[in-house]
Structure formats: structure tokens, C-alpha cells
Amino acid sequence: MGPLLKDMVATSLKEPCFTYIVRLKNTNEIVATRMMGILERPSSNHFENYESWKPNIIMKLVKELEQKVWDILPNTQKLACGLLISVHQNYTRRGIAQKLVE
């Protein structure tokens, strides 16, 4: 697991935690996950610098998009933020991701 994904998982498990894991009842196999985090208005535009260029480009894009949200909502200090929704390939097209979004 790369450092960016590790940071996303760590963020999604902070309190208050809105992250869900969907499991099969009979086998306890993980079928899907929804990782959420709380986004707080930043005091600076600094972000974590990763060794690989790929996560740095992703973070730059994410920070630019986040800044647009803060520009639209100037009086807001915190937002719920969807970090990742993933469904196992054997369980797609069953509405699981839709339920995780709702």
C-alpha cells in the first residue's frame, strides 16, 4: 500500500468515523468500503510531499479542488469528505456503491 493510500485510510478512521465496510454474512469477506473523512478549512496551502511524483500530482489536484469548495462556502469550517468508494469486482452492478453514497 502506497503512502498516499495509507494517509487516506488513517484520515478515514479518525473520530468521528463515517467509514463503512460491507461484509458477507456467511464468510465475513469484505465486499465494499466507503472511506469518509472530515475536511477542515486549511490555514495554508501546504500538503504532504511524497517520494513519488504520482501522489504529489494527485494531492495538488485534490487541494485545488478543495480550495474551490472553500471559495464557494466562505463561512464553512468543516465538511464531510468522501475519500474512496470501492466494490469488489465480483459484487459490482448490485447497487452496493449506490447505497454507500446515500
Residue 4's contacts (CB-CB under 8 Å, 6 or more residues apart) are 50, 55, 58, 59
Host H or E run for residue 22: strand 20-23
* Three-state DSSP class for residue 74: coil
Classify domain 3-101 by CATH architecture.
Answer: 3-Layer(aba) Sandwich (3.40)
Q: What is the mean pLDDT of the chain?
A: 91
Q: What is the pTM of this model?
A: 0.72
The answer, yes or no, to whether residue 1 has pLDDT greater than 80, is no
- List pLDDT tens digits, range 42-83: 887 677 788 889 888 988 998 899 999 999 999 999 999 988
Host H or E run for residue 35: strand 30-40
Find the mean pLDDT for residues 11-38: 93
Q: What is the DSSP letter of 50?
A: P
